[in-house]
Structure 1
Amino acid sequence: MAYNDAENRMNISAGLASVATAGVLVGLKAWALWQTGALSVGASLADSAVDLLISAAGLIAILYAQKPADDDHAFGHSSAEDLAALGQALIVLGSAAAIGLAAIRRLVSASPPDLASEGMGISVMIASALITAALIWWQSRVAIRTGNKVVAADRMHYVGDLLPTLGAILALWLSHDFGWHAADSIVALIAAALMLAGAGRIGSEAWNALMDRAAPDEVVEGIAAIARDWPGVRGYHDLKTRTAGAQVFVNLHIELDGDQTLEEAHEIGAALKRAIIEAYPQADVIIHKDVWRG
């Protein structure tokens, strides 16, 4: 089942908000980096720059995934969400590696550069944290309402951004008040590790979906329970599922009495299909009817 019009509008609004927020954050953090020279701010800037690319690609994927099924894509275009998520993971992976290497080089350097204008940098990073928190709030609402994978993945990026942003504030404060410049590189290393973990999680989920992995066990078990207890269904077999974007494709064989009319059999199958979709609104369900052999 595709998103309804209200869900489509919410998904697009989340995508537009993400792109706009990322653009603002890149500008703010680039200025803060120029003022302070702090690697932790640079790590946060790199993360936001990656987010801008990811958010733009995500918005394109959201718009493309909304295209209806056609002759060349009989099951729709929702896999675009998974392709976008996989691309996001690869970009984050490269960015994290670059940040981590820069942090290590600065830690082992005999004369690491001093930071400057820490107070101004702290102000910018606090503003960035507040803007990010507002975006996360809206993305959370959209992801809960629609189940869109791109919005959910983008939300995870920005949740992950909060810690590097707060870490940059901490590093600037320690440098300004206590002269502990190494905190900057340590925070950058932590940020890189978090980005690597997030890239692995997002990439794994996208890869599994593109490889037609079955829906989560709780979804499969829930569908099986509905079919098993449905009036008129004597049994079921060959329950198969796969995911694409936010959609779950379900293929199910049910066993019915052979002496009932075709209309009766159709009504049982149609009612079961409606029940599965009601329980899992993003499901696309195909039910095959077989004769029960006892």
Structure 2
Amino acid sequence: MSSPARLNLSAGIASVATAITLVAIKLWALGETQSLSVAASLADSALDLMMSLGALAAIVYAARPPDEDHAFGHSAAEDLAALGQAAFILASAGVIAFAAIGRLLAPEPVALTSETRGIVAMVVSIVLTLALVLWQRRVAARTGNRVVKADSLHYLGDLLPNFGAILALWASAQFGLVRLDSAIALAAAAMLTVGAMGIGKGAWDALMDRAADPVIIARIAELARTQPGVHGFHDLKTRRSGSRLFVNLHVELDGDQSLNAAHAIGAALKHAILAEFPGADVIIHFDPARKTAP
């Protein structure tokens, strides 16, 4: 298994382990406090667990090497999982917003108990979530994995509901207020919606074979243009599948030189592209350069 695959796998395992721990902590806190905000946070963590299990399965599947039926590998599984996660995140944002509005409009708030214990449980949850998000962000920055990015997004979105639960418990204990977390829950739902749309668009673009970012294309073109021995290039095509970049281009070489010399030029260009974009799948075709009339 490659180093990026191992990093992605570590992020997936950490996500599942953290989700299980958070569910256990919040179950205990709900029993102690009877808090609706804690119950909402528990439901969110249960959803996280389900999504983390799905994300881990996608990461493991995507890491499989190419085979006869999947010559380009299995990295599209990452995009499918990310698209599913985006849909679930949107759904959970809708549920959070609906619940928050319901609590704001309810004529009678629900009395809370054992607020201090609940606050301690939520603080522990925040610390665990922050540690996980920091690791996921580090992994995603190094591997570009959309599944890890999506997983990090919905855990980051958990922080606002957790802080909202703490504020609600504190306000209940100090002032008898229990609706303070509703406004924060609405803000969290908005943040989740925006983030999920971004993750979903990226996954959809990859599944539809959309070209890579223009900055990446421009850099590949510059490498081809400045490679010694390359007289020109055309038909530069790119796409992304999961965290993997695919590059296909035609380079124009001196048609009178030996095949070994042409291959050396192509190999040098390929290595230059891989140095800039590690893990990319690069295919270079050789065409004879057009000779100008004397």
Partner of 1:110: 107
Residue 21 (structure 1) aligned to one of 18, 35, 44: 18
Return 5+ residue gaps in structure 2 as ranges.
none
After superposition, the C-alpha distances for 1:221-252 in whole angstroms (9 at most, x for unaligned) are 11111011100111111111100111000011
1:240 paired with 2:219, answer no
The secondary structure found in structure 1 opposite 2:71 is coil
> 1:5 — aligned with what?
2
Task: Return the structure number with greater relative CO, CA threshold 8 A, min gap 6.
Answer: 1
Question: For residue 111 of structure 1, what is the amino acid of its counterpart?
Answer: E
Query: What code does the residue aligned with 2:99 have?
Result: A
CA offset at residue 159 of structure 1? 2.1
Show the counterpart of 1:225: 222
Deviation at 1:41, TM superposition (A): 2.1
Residues 40 and 187 in structure 1, CA contact (< 8 A), matched pair in contact too: no
SS in 1 for 2:218: helix
Q: Take 2:141 and 2:231, find their aligned partners in 1: how far apart are those partners?
A: 35
- The unaligned stretches of length 5 or more in structure 1 are none
User: Are residues 25 and 130 of structure 1, via their aligned partners in 2, closer, same or farther at CA, if it must alter by over 3 Å?
Assistant: same
Match of 2:79 in 1: 82
Tell me what 1:93 maps to. 90
Q: Structure 2: how far apart are the matches of 1:288 and 1:194?
A: 45
Distance 1:144 1:58 in 2: 17
Match of 2:152 among 151, 155, 164: 155
Query: How many corresponding residue pairs?
Result: 291
Give the C-alpha shift of residue 169 in structure 1. Answer: 1.3
The partner residue of 2:278 within 276, 281, 291 is: 281
Determine the structure 1 residue equivalent to 2:29: 32
Report whether the alignment pairs 1:255 with 2:252. yes
Please say if residues 81 and 149 of structure 1, whose CA atoms lie closer than 8 Å, have aligned partners that are also in contact.
yes
Q: Give 1:16 shift.
A: 0.8
The answer (yes or no) to whether the contact 2:83–2:203 under 8 Å persists in 1 is yes
2:48 aligns with 51
Structure 1 residue aligned with 2:212: 215
* Contact 2:150–2:196 (8 Å) recurs in 1: no
Query: Over aligned residues, Cα RMSD in angstroms?
Result: 1.6
Conserved? CA contact 1:19–1:56, under 8 Å: yes
Match of 2:63 among 62, 66, 69: 66
TM-score (norm 1): 0.93
Query: Does the CA contact (< 8 Å) of 2:35 and 2:112 recur in 1?
Result: yes
Q: Quick one: percent identity of the two aligned structures? A: 59
